[in-house]
Amino acid sequence: MRITTKGRYAVTALLDLAIHERLGPVPLADISEYQGISLSYLEQLFAKLRRHGLVKGTRGPHGGYRLARSAEQISVAEIISAVDENMDTTKCSGQGDCQDGERCLTHDLWTKLSSQIHQFLRGISLADLVDQPKVQERAHEQDLNGRRGLHNRRNAA
């Protein structure tokens, strides 16, 4: 199993949103700039996240995105699943036809591993990530390097 860029970026973007949403709706352009994720890619991800009820958008000059639920209620597994990421470690996508149409010898091992990974990620909320000291440290560095100024200028307009 490998979580692709899509899953990693979705988790990173929602973590950024959770950290900064106290300032109001967060524009995708801010997330793009501070997380180094292409704006067009974020737009695609947020369309999926919105459809899955994880974010809600506000249009207009002070628009942007907010979490649709509290950070405590959104798990990492839910974010990854919302952007169509597969957390399955089996070669056969769980179908049991891994080896020439038959179940391979290690099918149950990989199925159990997939279940453990999903359970682990389901047990981690955005709030858990926000509360990590290293995350707070990095967010503070980003704020000092311009985000707070950009957001304040936008809200003052």
pLDDT at 8: 93
105-119 pLDDT, tens digit per residue, is: 888 898 898 889 889
For the entire predicted model, the pTM comes to 0.83
The answer to whether the CB of 69 falls within 8 A of the CB of 63 is no
Helix residue ranges per DSSP H, the chain: 5-20, 28-35, 39-51, 76-82, 107-122, 126-130, 133-142, 148-156
pLDDT at 97: 83
The list of the chain residues with pLDDT below 50 reads 148-149, 152-157
pLDDT at 2: 62
Q: How many CA atoms lie within 13 A of 91 on its CB side?
A: 12
**Location of structure tokens 């628009």:** 63
Specify the CATH number for 5-86+125-156; select among 3.90.110.10, 1.10.287.4070, 1.10.260.40, 1.10.10.10. 1.10.10.10
Shortest CA distance to 14 belongs to which of 96, 75, 63?
75
152 exposure class (CB count in 10 Å sphere: 0-12, 13-18, 19+): exposed
Cα–Cα dist 25/151, whole Å: 10
